[in-house]
């Protein structure tokens, strides 16, 4: 009877690393080699945050489309918060020329306006989030965007005599929500009086106002109905315009 076979088969060929003077096969990778400076660390962390935002937002958009998410108020506030976080991260890439150069090393072909950041990340990191990219690019949740489209398409067809007065609808709305919307409106007006003109200054304030107005509902026949008025669609239109501006571009 023959002896037991060897634990591992003996290789019939040998592996010899290629003789390349530009490659060090014995180099040990560490955190310091991957992140040589604090700027590299900050840029990579921001990209990680954007990656996580896009991934989570894709799940939220899919769930909203399939009616797994039925609370429109929570959906609107959650998506708006993630959009604001994404825009704050984009603003951080332009802090210094060093931040811009490091980002260009990681994502070659990135534009100064960062408009193609998400497509480049999708290609480089194998990220498939089409719904999240559409939402982050538009800058508003689907509930607000679709409301703006419906109001714009039907406002001209409505007769002024049959339009419900805003006062009668707001009478049954929650006093707390009315106070929040009023506070957001006053804050935005104060910012305009202080000559705020850039996207980074006005977009968060206007988004808070639009979200507050979107939460206002009236009770009719034991059902909740959003309070609609012509000025609401104009605010949504301005929010979309602000989102399409560059970071430091004035209105």
Measured distance CA(19)–CA(24) in Å, rounded: 10
Given a contact cutoff of 8 angstroms between Cβ atoms, the answer to whether 215 and 72 are in contact is: no
3-state secondary structure of 25: coil
Which pLDDT belongs to residue 7? 62
- Exposed/middle/buried for residue 158 (C-beta within 10 Å: 0-12, 13-18, 19+): exposed
Which pLDDT belongs to residue 100? 92
Determine the average pLDDT of the residues in 148-152: 46
The encoded tokens of residue 11 equal 């290789």
Q: What is the value of pTM for the model shown? A: 0.61
187/6: higher pLDDT = 187
User: Alpha helices, DSSP H only, in the chain?
Assistant: 31-34, 38-65, 72-92, 97-106, 117-124, 130-138, 142-154, 166-170, 175-193, 199-215, 230-243
Measured distance CA(51)–CA(107) in Å, rounded: 14
Domains (ranges, CATH) in the chain? Answer: 32-138 (1.20.1440.200), 143-154+168-251 (1.20.120.1130)
Which pLDDT belongs to residue 152? 47
3-state secondary structure of 224: strand
Given a contact cutoff of 8 angstroms between Cβ atoms, the answer to whether 106 and 42 are in contact is: no
Measured distance CA(46)–CA(41) in Å, rounded: 9
Q: Which of 47, 61, 189, 58 is nearest to 106 (CA)?
A: 47
Q: Per-residue pLDDT tens for 171-217?
A: 444 667 777 788 888 888 888 888 888 887 888 888 888 888 877 77
b/e per residue 11-26 (b: at least 16 CB within 10 A): eeeeeeeeeeeeeeee
Given a contact cutoff of 8 angstroms between Cβ atoms, the answer to whether 98 and 92 are in contact is: no
pLDDT band at 169 (very low <50, low <70, confident <90, very high): very low
The encoded tokens of residue 199 equal 């996207």
Q: Looking at residue 40, what DSSP letter applies?
A: H
3-state secondary structure of 226: strand
DSSP track, 119-178: HHHHHHTT---HHHHHHHHH-S-HHHHHHHHHHHHHTTTS-GGGSPPHHHHHTTS-HHHH
Which pLDDT belongs to residue 103? 94
Q: Per-residue pLDDT tens for 26-52?
A: 667 777 777 888 999 999 999 999 999
Radius of gyration of the chain (CA): 26
Given a contact cutoff of 8 angstroms between Cβ atoms, the answer to whether 206 and 238 are in contact is: yes
Given a contact cutoff of 8 angstroms between Cβ atoms, the answer to whether 205 and 184 are in contact is: yes
Measured distance CA(24)–CA(12) in Å, rounded: 26
């Amino acid at each position: 009877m023959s002896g037991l076979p060897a634990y591992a088969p003996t290789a019939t060929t040998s592996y010899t690393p290629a003789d390349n003077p530009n490659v060090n096969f014995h180099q040990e990778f560490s955190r310091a080699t991957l992140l040589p400076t604090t700027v590299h660390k900050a840029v990579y962390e921001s990209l990680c945050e954007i990656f996580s935002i896009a991934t989570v937002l894709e799940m939220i958009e899919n769930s909203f489309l399939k009616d797994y998410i039925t609370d429109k108020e929570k959906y609107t506030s959650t998506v708006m918060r993630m959009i604001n976080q994404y825009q704050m991260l984009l603003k951080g890439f332009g802090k210094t020329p060093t931040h811009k150069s490091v980002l260009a090393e990681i994502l070659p072909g990135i534009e100064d306006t960062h408009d193609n950041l998400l497509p480049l990340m999708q290609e480089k990191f194998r990220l498939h989030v089409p719904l999240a990219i559409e939402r982050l690019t538009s800058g508003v949740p689907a509930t607000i965007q679709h409301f703006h489209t419906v109001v714009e398409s039907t406002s001209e067809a409505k007769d002024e005599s049959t339009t419900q007065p805003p006062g009668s609808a707001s009478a049954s709305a929650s006093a707390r929500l009315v106070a929040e919307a009023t506070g957001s409106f006053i804050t935005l007006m104060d910012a305009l009086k202080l000559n705020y003109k850039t996207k980074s200054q006005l977009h968060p304030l206007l988004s808070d106002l639009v979200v507050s107005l979107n939460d206002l509902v009236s009770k009719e026949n034991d059902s909740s109905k959003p309070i609609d008025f012509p000025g609401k669609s104009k605010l949504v239109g301005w929010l979309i315009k602000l989102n399409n501006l560059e970071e430091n571009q004035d209105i």
